[in-house]
Structure 1
């Protein structure tokens, strides 16, 4: 990888960090949003679930619609929209306006993240593609988890509005770096819409999508309310909560690094093992979550497993549709965010009906269901390799 290409990949990694940071960073300040706007914690959770739903809806369509345009110009457009949305979020005193200021940029989210994977892969040799993509994925993972403790620390030290402005500042830094350092990226070979949509004819694509929805729902159905759990069940202070969220984030990055090796060595075994590992973590969390030290250890392990799961989700879908990488990455974002939407909604409902301590059972239910679809995909893949079925080609 040349020095120039390393800079491009680094900017893309920071770019996806800024986008995912906007989406997930509010998780750490949900209780503060609820207090500031005088809404319930489940209503405050709409800033997460509605954002994720918008990404899920636009995931398959927006990357397709913008696939013929200069990629640098498209990325600058998306970053500009996010900057404006975050500035509005920082200064509005109306909860409905806050929701609109977050949901509108969310529709453009899949464009940038999908392009980041594609541009990173196309900027290096074929042998270095996994390394380049994994570096961009570190930005994805960092945005999904490190933005949470950082925004929590900023909000607790200053104000909710300042935490929202932090999202805009990160977006602006990437906008400037992209404008100055990334060369023009015109599209040289454009796949037709029909060629890309044809991957939806394969059963293995749909099994992969459902499995990823459930796997991501299993993680974020619980993680979306981690700050609330730590406050009400573990009885931690805001500084301690920020530390725990940072611990989860750091562990997630470690899991991201480990995942690269696991997927290279044995992707199928890793996929089958993931649900069992996550169920074990949730059972331990349910039994010992009221104790700070066991909770810290559980959070560390949970973060590593969640990091592995995020990489596994992306691989699970793109490996099912390697002939259409842009569209496959869009489908991945749709499935992942549908999982976040369903998981967060289910978690909020369970908290409202039974109490915060029972939110882990949403994760357990989702992860058990995900195992069913993981095994079904493996079964179809085995039949395909044996030549017993057709239409489920998997490279």
Structure 2
């Protein structure tokens, strides 16, 4: 794909986000204003809460597996259920609330998030716990979709990729601070108490959105028909498949961080938060760089992110039992994969500029299909007796498939453009 085509896609995406967030021209609030930054912080706190509950489950998987008396393979069903909740909730809740003001929608979604975490804390068995995690996952995609609209309203129309990266920042910081802290709390006071603490954190997020996200009709939604138009495009579904396949290697690694540290490296459980934090630092660095790259050259961000991740996965698969290689690779996987995600968002919005909120939600839905795929594939290889490092090869195959699919769609685009110009 040419540079000019990528710039056109970015410009289309930026205009779409602005048009959806405002009914008049030049309405975005400068990001330099105090009110604008408080809005962004409120959005980031929400994504921090979401990231904490999602990734904490992977850090404490051994704890709730033992408490609920199931093996590690069965315990991954709870993580898969959360991911399925995101996949289902992203389109369903976004479309059901299409006409709602985005501020109101964000408040309702955080409320549902709090309920899901409370139910997770009181689960008496694996079946109840799986249902609770499904409920907890339902708001995530819609929150990111609505949050992306509000963020772009604040930062301006020329920084669509950076706007989405700002929304994602809370999630990546959660992998540095929230998830390791939740894992530590799970080890110190119990996994149930961990989910209750996350629910309390969600209440602070609710209050921050209430006070700092502006009350304005410029954040009103659109009709369901308007949002649905994007899902009629085949290239949107192909891009979602690229995201789901390519990003899955994150979760083929992250899901099993606890066993990697204790069973492979033979460290004590107190080393798990360190591994989680290194992974999170990598994700944050990759996200910040990826947001800038997405506004310049979206396809390059995806190719570079996926390609570099494949190299890191191979290194980790061969030499991951060496501690310094393992910890360096944890940073590398997080950084390379997250560099691609803002570019995926910009491309999705460029493909369906009339459905910007839904595209934000479906991007997160795709990432949680990746969550389910990665956890499932890793669980299958471990269950087959191939060892912990086999999960890395499972992730490698999935990401390679995503990269091949993306390259094929890029190769097909010039031909499609030529046919349209001749018609």
TM-score under structure 1 normalisation?
A: 0.92
CA shift, 1:89, in A, is 2.1
Alignment correspondent of 1:357:
389
TM-score under structure 2 normalisation?
A: 0.86
Is the Cα contact below 8 Å between 2:99 and 2:222 reproduced in 1? no
Cα distance change of structure 1 residues 70 and 190 upon mapping to structure 2, 3 Å threshold: closer
Cα deviation, 1:123-153, whole Å, max 9, x if unaligned, reads 3432355443321121132345643322112
More displaced stretch, 270-279 vs 284-293: 270-279
Is the Cα contact below 8 Å between 1:66 and 1:111 reproduced in 2? no
Alignment correspondent of 1:371:
403
CA shift, 1:159, in A, is 1.8
Aligned pair partner of 1:223 in 225, 241, 254 = 254
Q: Distance in 2 between matches of 1:181 and 1:383?
A: 47
Is the Cα contact below 8 Å between 1:89 and 1:98 reproduced in 2? yes
Alignment correspondent of 1:149:
180
Q: Distance in 1 between matches of 2:389 and 2:141?
A: 33
Q: Distance in 2 between matches of 1:81 and 1:57?
A: 14
Cα distance change of structure 1 residues 292 and 99 upon mapping to structure 2, 3 Å threshold: same
Is the Cα contact below 8 Å between 1:318 and 1:332 reproduced in 2? no
Alignment correspondent of 2:304:
273
Is the Cα contact below 8 Å between 1:64 and 1:193 reproduced in 2? yes
Cα deviation, 1:64-123, whole Å, max 9, x if unaligned, reads 110212333322222222222222322333322222222123222222221111111123
Alignment correspondent of 1:338:
369
Is the Cα contact below 8 Å between 2:185 and 2:194 reproduced in 1? yes
Cα distance change of structure 1 residues 145 and 54 upon mapping to structure 2, 3 Å threshold: farther
Alignment correspondent of 2:77:
46
| Structure 1: 5+ residue stretches without partners | 391-395
Is the Cα contact below 8 Å between 2:141 and 2:362 reproduced in 1? no
Alignment correspondent of 1:207:
238
Is the Cα contact below 8 Å between 1:20 and 1:144 reproduced in 2? yes
Q: Distance in 2 between matches of 1:83 and 1:104?
A: 10
Q: Distance in 1 between matches of 2:219 and 2:332?
A: 44
Q: Distance in 2 between matches of 1:380 and 1:144?
A: 37
Structure-to-structure mapping, 1:226-305, within 5 angstroms? 226-305=257-336
Alignment correspondent of 2:104:
73
More displaced stretch, 309-318 vs 132-141: 309-318
Once superposed, what is the RMSD of the aligned Cα atoms? 2.2
Is the Cα contact below 8 Å between 2:261 and 2:269 reproduced in 1? no
Is the Cα contact below 8 Å between 2:245 and 2:399 reproduced in 1? yes
Q: Distance in 2 between matches of 1:328 and 1:89?
A: 29
Is the Cα contact below 8 Å between 1:208 and 1:320 reproduced in 2? no
Q: Distance in 1 between matches of 2:226 and 2:297?
A: 30
Is 2:191 the partner of 1:160? yes
Q: Distance in 1 between matches of 2:416 and 2:387?
A: 46
Q: Distance in 2 between matches of 1:82 and 1:15?
A: 10
Cα distance change of structure 1 residues 286 and 135 upon mapping to structure 2, 3 Å threshold: same
